[in-house]
Structure 1
Amino acid sequence: MNRVTLTAAMAVLRQKLSELFSAQRAPAGYQPGRTLGQLRRNLGLAHFEQVSPTLARAALDDDSLHLEIRERTESQLLMHLVMTQFCLRLPASTEGAACFVLHHGGAVRRTGIRCRQRMGEPALLGQLQARLQQDSALLQALMPLDFNRLHIELRDQQWHVCLEHMGGSEVVNRMPAFRRYIALSREQRDALLAALAGLQRVLRTL
């Protein structure tokens, strides 16, 4: 086999491996839409439309906040988790691409909100951190909020926010067989909606 043929074969192999590992298979026992249905009762929003088994769109009664809610599965040994992601898309006046991760500071007690930049123009990090610190209502909502992930991305002249909460999720075990829905409490629900509204407010000023 000559070098050209070997290079082509390796390229095909890499493509096949990429397709194999990128293919997402639903875990055994996963019931798409079940978690969203239970979350809908927790949120108590008049405007809630399930547009597919794993995607819903919701809005506050005053129409000030529109969001998408998605189910995300995570497989583990003999069990899987169904997590809910709350997503915003907003027009951006800033061009380019960037990615930020927000998390609570402090090893034992929460001491604040930290922001790390994964990619993009470094000056944007300073601007985002300054806006976060200036918005006391947003910080007040984020501090007690129990979230797993909070990502902010800039791409295609849009801000994309994805907040994954610990509540509004489901644990499904295969052996022994059981399902447990982790409810979104009233306090967490209020903090979640206030945090999303605050992030929308902050990003519109960048």
Structure 2
Amino acid sequence: MLQKLSELFSAQRAPAGYRPGVTLEYLRRNLGLAGFTSTGPTGAVFGLGDSGLQVAVGERTESQLLMHLVMTEFVIKVPASEQGNARFELHHRGSIRRTGLGFRQRAGAPTLLPRLEVALTQDQALHHALMVLDFKRLRIELDAQQWQVRLEHMGGSEVVNRMPAFRRYIALSGAQREALFDVLTGLKRALGAF
């Protein structure tokens, strides 16, 4: 599959004006979590309360013509009850209003997709949180005996423009913060029972 030109360009080198870790620090303050611990210049980890869920978060840059974006990606890992390899992507359906969730399978056994759809849509709390959450990308991968979820939110990111020069952090609202935590714990619950 062909990559977007901007993704290919941003993978080669960091954009001019990129400040590693700055967006992550804005996100740390935005989330207001006591256990937010740095794991490197562009990565951190935090725990979600009683669920025992550990969430890794990292910066990802995306270059465009006279600007770049610094996105934050949330990653969780959940043990799987079965072994295999598969990749899925989730998105919202509906062009104006959200009408549901769409599932795409990118790799793996085709019998897994209907089972995954059922597991994620039958959990009412998770389904509701997914419908409310403003996510840009949501990828679920099965690798050997482990699920890995990569979620990129629309907020928790920074826009950096060169002409005219400005930087703007796009904060997560309180409602989006709660929906994010509900989705991450719900995915742990649903995938753990899958």
Shorter-chain TM-score bucket reads: over 0.9
1:112 deviates by 0.9
Q: Is contact 2:76-2:148 (8 Å) kept?
A: yes
1:24 deviates by 2.4
CA gap of 1:70–1:111, structure 2 versus 1, over 3 A, is same
Counterpart residue number, 1:167: 155
Counterpart residue number, 2:164: 176
Determine helix, strand or coil for the equivalent of 1:36.
helix
- In the alignment, the residues of structure 1 paired with residue 176 and residue 10 of structure 2 have an alpha-carbon distance, to the nearest angstrom, of 33
Task: Give the gaps of 5 or more residues in structure 1.
Answer: 1-19
Q: Deviations over 1:140-183 (max 9, x none)?
A: 11111111000000113211100000000000011111100001
Counterpart residue number, 1:202: 190
Determine helix, strand or coil for the equivalent of 1:94.
strand
1:98 deviates by 0.2
Q: Is contact 1:86-1:162 (8 Å) kept?
A: yes
- In the alignment, the residues of structure 2 paired with residue 124 and residue 69 of structure 1 have an alpha-carbon distance, to the nearest angstrom, of 27
5 Å-filtered alignment, 1:37-186, equals 37-62=25-50, 64-186=52-174
- In the alignment, the residues of structure 2 paired with residue 61 and residue 196 of structure 1 have an alpha-carbon distance, to the nearest angstrom, of 12
Q: Deviations over 1:48-96 (max 9, x none)?
A: 1011111000112325221000100000001100000000111212111
- In the alignment, the residues of structure 1 paired with residue 131 and residue 85 of structure 2 have an alpha-carbon distance, to the nearest angstrom, of 27
1:21 deviates by 7.4
Instruction: Indicate the structure (1 or 2) with the bigger Cα radius of gyration.
Output: 1
CA gap of 1:193–1:23, structure 2 versus 1, over 3 A, is closer
Q: Is contact 1:45-1:61 (8 Å) kept?
A: no
- In the alignment, the residues of structure 2 paired with residue 71 and residue 23 of structure 1 have an alpha-carbon distance, to the nearest angstrom, of 12
- Alignment RMSD: 1.5
Q: Is contact 1:42-1:186 (8 Å) kept?
A: no
- Give the letter aligned to residue 151 of structure 1: R
- Scaled by the length of structure 1, what TM-score is found? 0.87
1:23 deviates by 5.8
Moved more, 171-180 or 20-29: 20-29
